[in-house]
Structure 1
């Protein structure tokens, strides 16, 4: 009996297996495409307040979808004083360098450095003895020539009497008259020498030519002084009143002339270098008679009484000169004014709490306010803080000055981040997590 052959297994069909794998891959691809399409539809239809991840060009909001926090202030109608600002140098009303008018040894000094002196006060003494000797010599020569003149005059009278008697020739009388005139000239010259010696003796006493404050002593007693000394003995400056010289632009000349014609002397204020402390009040004294062509400026001089000695010679000060007061101008804080390629502009707050860029024409500035001559009306709200993130049409929310700009109050009293998390976008994220 023949043995039956072993059972043979049917080979698995490779075509059926490959069809099954291909079907699963297609199903997985369809599911992935559907998920991506759903997420795209979700992000395209959610509003900026729902926590959109991209900035909305229509509303101009940030990545969080929240309005931009800003500080806004209204334009006001006010009176504004127009000032002209400049940097000036304090100059003494009078300055005198005291020099010796004679050559000699400085014998004594009678002043103290920094002392207030009056005109005519004795400051120093040069050794007077050489000048006293010269005076004595001149007086001796004068006495000699005076005696000769007197003798010649007596002889002239005698000759005239003899001429009347025809005892002498007329030529002799004429010669004697010439001799008298010669001696008269000698006496006059001698008198000049005496006066010169007296003047030199007077100059040996050095006195103050003006009233003011003396500076540091340049020469010590015992040194020789001369009329050619450059530094002199001491410098005196008159500090009351005091002047300030300052340049102004050529373009301001018209306004200055107009203000001087209508308002009289223009008030001028002197402030310290940091422009924080007012030193003195004065008035415009005069203007220079020509414009400096190299700088395009005109020099002005103002005078201050300087009763408190707040101004010091050669000190640099900031000058504020009042030109006029403009009545009822529209003014905004200077922080609101922006400058760009299109010129000066501000961000104006609209009633729907969005901002729009508004070009403005500005006028004078006083303190932290600037006048606006065109582009705004009193009461218009302009952004003064938080302009960095603003664009045309940006949605904003107003906060108080100094408040936090990162977490502002929403319309329901919640923070912006809380509103974003609890909105539809937050619910959608929870739904996706549940599906996962």
Structure 2
């Protein structure tokens, strides 16, 4: 039979529910132009950094289009220089009545048209440069590459529904958990007070896989299930969390300071509610009704019914009844 004393301690208020791990960011890498997939420059499962070159699309068609646009600009620039030269000559000749005003006006219009054509050429060059840049596919985020979705040498299209590979950002990593809507007020208050701690626990053995913080509370409560979603972020330095994994999320929403506590095993439930066996000075026990609050890590908060220093039976109550006398064995000697 185990005996414990009622004492005051700080007790964390913990909310636990099922969570699902997901990548912090997920990007499907697709080609934005059509062409042959000339090179794949990463390995499946490789960690890549933002800006790393992942793949190359055959650039020859797009390089030719860019060269053609530059040539057109050079052609129109030469035409503009000639048109301006003619206009300057016409302006001088119209003053001597050697050229009509109409002819001079027509030449001014010609110059303006070529100037507009040059602006169009510059826009075509910018477009061609953009198209050419799309043949070099780079990583938009830090992440881990998944399984290659299409092999080198295949023809890819901007309209393809699939992609080349999926990048998942797992450092950090996210988890979505759900809590009953009754906890809305406590979660909101905790988030307003500052960072809210959360632990990711293994569903198999309860081991702590990682520690992080709650990033946000969803902006709606699911009316079908009456639950509220939380998004938590974990550093995941040791890769113990993986997208799609199920976990138990333990959210610490508050800490009760100097709360009156008793072992959770001391709390019994009968027809009239919760009670504990309190040990009197003559070593007899009496069932005392109690009202309990949160329970965390085997410790129950006692809101009423007990006083600090009371001794209670923490285990072995099935052999007890009101007025029974107990013998508390001394603890075994240390070895």
Q: Report how far residue 201 of structure 1 moved.
A: 1.8
Question: Which residue of 201, 217, 221 corresponds with 1:271?
Answer: 201
Q: Report how far residue 109 of structure 1 moved.
A: 0.7
Q: Report how far residue 105 of structure 1 moved.
A: 1.2
Q: Report how far residue 177 of structure 1 moved.
A: 1.3
Q: Report how far residue 179 of structure 1 moved.
A: 1.5
Larger radius of gyration: 1
Deviates more, 1:247-256 or 1:227-236: 247-256
2:269 equivalent in structure 1: 339
The whole-number CA distance in structure 2 between the counterparts of 1:73 and 1:210 is 55
Question: Which residue of 102, 106, 124 corresponds with 1:175?
Answer: 106
1:125 equivalent in structure 2: 56
Whether the 8 Å CA contact 1:160–1:173 is kept in 2: the answer is: yes
Which structure is richer in relative contact order (CA contacts within 8 A, separation 6 or more)?
Answer: 2
SS of the residue 1:238 aligns to: strand
Whether the 8 Å CA contact 2:264–2:298 is kept in 1: the answer is: yes
2:71 equivalent in structure 1: 140
The answer to which structure has the higher strand fraction is 2
Q: Report how far residue 230 of structure 1 moved.
A: 2.8
2:333 equivalent in structure 1: none
Unmatched runs of 5 consecutive residues or more in structure 1: 1-69, 402-436
The whole-number CA distance in structure 2 between the counterparts of 1:305 and 1:84 is 21
1:35 equivalent in structure 2: none
1:254 equivalent in structure 2: 185
The whole-number CA distance in structure 2 between the counterparts of 1:258 and 1:315 is 29
Q: Deviations over 1:390-421 (max 9, x none)?
A: 55x374645769xxxxxxxxxxxxxxxxxxxx
1:282 equivalent in structure 2: 212
2:152 equivalent in structure 1: 221
Kindly tell me the number of residue pairs found equivalent between the two proteins. Answer: 330
The TM-score, its normalising length taken from structure 2, stands at: 0.87
User: For residues 11-26 of structure 1, what are the structure 2 equivalents within 5 Å?
Assistant: none
Whether the 8 Å CA contact 1:275–1:318 is kept in 2: the answer is: no
CA RMSD, aligned part only? 2.6
Q: Deviations over 1:275-333 (max 9, x none)?
A: 53222222232323333333333322332233333322232222222233323322222
SS of the residue 1:294 aligns to: coil
The whole-number CA distance in structure 1 between the counterparts of 2:160 and 2:282 is 80
Q: Report how far residue 265 of structure 1 moved.
A: 1.6
Unmatched runs of 5 consecutive residues or more in structure 2: 331-335
The TM-score, its normalising length taken from structure 1, stands at: 0.68
